[in-house]
Amino acid sequence: MTNEPAMPAAQQEDAVSVTRHRLMWPSVAAGIWALWYAAYRGYYAAGGTAFLPGTIRPGAEGRFQLINLLGAVIIAAAAVVPIATLPLWSRRWPRRMLLAVYWIAAVGCCMHALVDIAQRVLSLTGAVHIDYPPLWSTIDRRSADLQAIFFNEPWFLVQGLAFGTLCWIGLGPGRARQWWAATAVAAVVALFLLGMLTVAGILDKVIVF
């Protein structure tokens, strides 16, 4: 009887150690996946123009570079988060914070990817017309749609799934994992439907860039 209180604590330490070990490589993978996309955005921020589906309007180059610079900085910061926060999974309140932040990131990335892929497919068929920001002088709509479908949006989808995977591993088996996954999927579905209503013009449209 005297040893019983110590056993759960020891088992809990072992579980935390195993969880952190399992989170290591998925966290590194999530960071690398974000980092290469940050580099891609950084290339355009530095003035690169390769693979653009159009030409930037004269005088708007600075704005285009600034948009990509901000994107590169934000994504690069996001690349560091999964690795830098690994020790926090063993602490109760920081762990809850991570689960909430990653929930938002996973839902946001997956929803963004699914809505934009659907919109781009509809654009290819001529069912919808996408309005582009005025910084574009010319735009090849087909190339822009294909680039979004096969390059940009898959990045968002995989990044969202990566954040979701970290939480799936971090939560371990049980109701908490099921609840996290169920609410995330429900939110993605709800936001996807809301996004498609904007694509269809039923709700106010948003510019997809």
pLDDT digit string (tens) for 75-124?
A: 999 999 999 999 999 898 999 999 999 999 999 999 999 999 999 999 99
131 belongs to a structural domain? yes
96 belongs to a structural domain? yes
208 belongs to a structural domain? no
146 belongs to a structural domain? yes
Q: What is the total count of domains within the chain?
A: 1
Task: Quote the tokens at residue 166.
Answer: 């970290």
Would the pTM count as exceeding 0.75?
A: yes
205 belongs to a structural domain? no
Distance CA 81, CA 83 (A): 6
Distance CA 192, CA 177 (A): 22
209 belongs to a structural domain? no
204 belongs to a structural domain? no
Summarize pLDDT for 8-24 with one digit per residue, the tens. 555 455 455 667 789 99
For residue 60, what are the domain limits? 6-199
Q: Is the pLDDT of residue 198 over 50?
A: yes
The secondary structure element, H or E, covering residue 138 is strand 136-139
* pLDDT number for residue 18: 65
* High-pLDDT (> 70) share of the chain, %: 89
206 belongs to a structural domain? no
